[in-house]
Amino acid sequence: MLVFIGCLLLSSEIRAPAAATLPVDPPHAEQKHFLECLARVYSPGWWFSYNDALYFQPRDEEQARQLEAMKTARSSYTVLTNPATRHALTARVIAQSGVAEAWQKKLLLPFSATNQNLTPTLDKPLRVVPRYKALQPFADGDMLIQEDATTLFVMNFGSMPANAFGTNALLIRVGTKTYSSGGSFKTVDAFANAALSPEETAVLRRVAAAFQREADASSSQIEDSKTREEFEACKARATDSNPYMEYLLAKAYLEGKGTDRDEKLGMEWMRRAARNGSGDATSCLEKLEGKAP
């Protein structure tokens, strides 16, 4: 069984996080990446339901590769390295998603020095049945299904018409079951249905969307930080011997890019850049004032 280790840990509508080199501005970049990982991990396609509890587990090799890629990228973090900090961030966003406290407890393990995982896992193999045929319904929603040539007894499978075909059943083996068929008794492997209910699916989608929104907000913070850095670099290089940088600084003030918008200061720098030979500044002034300085 694949187990999600080390606090790394969404449906296809959630974007997959980049697994390559993280961008500049480590605090915001790492938080953005971590939140994108959580958006993926908390999507319904990675979870199953058993005994009124929710569990996380990759279902196939592709998901296992995605999980390993996220884990590898996370190993390059230099700021967001404290497990308690990551757990607190996860708990905050799950709470902000608006799901009830009972759901929050199902989705996030308590943090401790001995248990630093985020997601609950179950030490039982999950059987994924890509395609099956419903053979016989029983009382209480149990069902006899057929996968290829194998007959399985599934408890709490829900009612469905006999001879119907279905896909992607999620099962947990619980032992064997003897049933009556045509006057004789047969014994087959018995499973519990581990598929998510509509309510569980909706909760996970809501949480995954909350993580993606928070990741998008971090993207805006990264962009704001980048423009501020560009402004400071431009300001440091804006001298009379570098009129082009004076022109760029003037535009930054006029547009409020990387700094507060200041039209008066922007015009002062634009005139200065034009006097020092910036053709761009001269053209800009002609448009703004209808004349050259």
Per-residue pLDDT tens digits of the chain, which is 293 residues long: 333 333 344 333 344 454 444 444 457 889 999 999 999 999 999 999 999 999 999 989 999 999 999 999 999 999 999 999 999 999 999 999 999 999 999 999 999 878 778 999 998 999 999 999 998 888 888 999 999 999 999 998 875 665 567 788 999 999 999 988 778 899 999 999 999 999 999 999 999 999 999 998 876 665 666 778 778 888 898 888 999 988 888 888 898 888 889 999 989 999 999 999 998 989 999 888 765 44
**Residue 87 belongs to a domain:** yes
**Residue 94 belongs to a domain:** yes
State how far the alpha carbon of 273 is from the alpha carbons of 51, 76, 238, 279, 283, in Å: 72, 43, 9, 9, 11
Its sign, for the CA torsion 144, 146, 149, 152, is negative
SS3 of 80-92: the string is: CCCHHHHHHHHHH
Phi, psi of 38, deg, nearest 5: -65, -40
Clarify whether residues 188 and 203 are in a common domain: no
State how far the alpha carbon of 163 is from the alpha carbons of 136, 142, 143, 149, 193, in Å: 8, 15, 11, 14, 18
Clarify whether residues 62 and 176 are in a common domain: no
Clarify whether residues 254 and 186 are in a common domain: no
Per the structure, the complete domain to which residue 259 belongs is given by: 238-289
Q: Which residues contact 85 (CB under 8 A, 6 or more apart)?
A: none
Instruction: Give the total number of structural domains in the chain.
Output: 3
Rounded-to-integer distance, Cα 56 and Cα 118, Å: 10
Rounded-to-integer distance, Cα 125 and Cα 163, Å: 27
**Residue 232 belongs to a domain:** no
State how far the alpha carbon of 26 is from the alpha carbons of 83, 193, 222, 225, 259, in Å: 17, 43, 9, 11, 21
3-state secondary structure of 52: coil
Q: Which two tokens stand for residue 37?
A: 């990982």
Of 137, 172, 193, the residue at which a domain comes to its end is: 193
Clarify whether residues 33 and 142 are in a common domain: no
Q: Which two tokens stand for residue 196?
A: 């998510």
Mode of pairing for the β-strands spanning 165-181 and 184-193: antiparallel
The radius of gyration of the chain from alpha carbons, rounded to an integer in Å, stands at 29
**Residue 66 belongs to a domain:** yes
Rounded-to-integer distance, Cα 115 and Cα 197, Å: 28
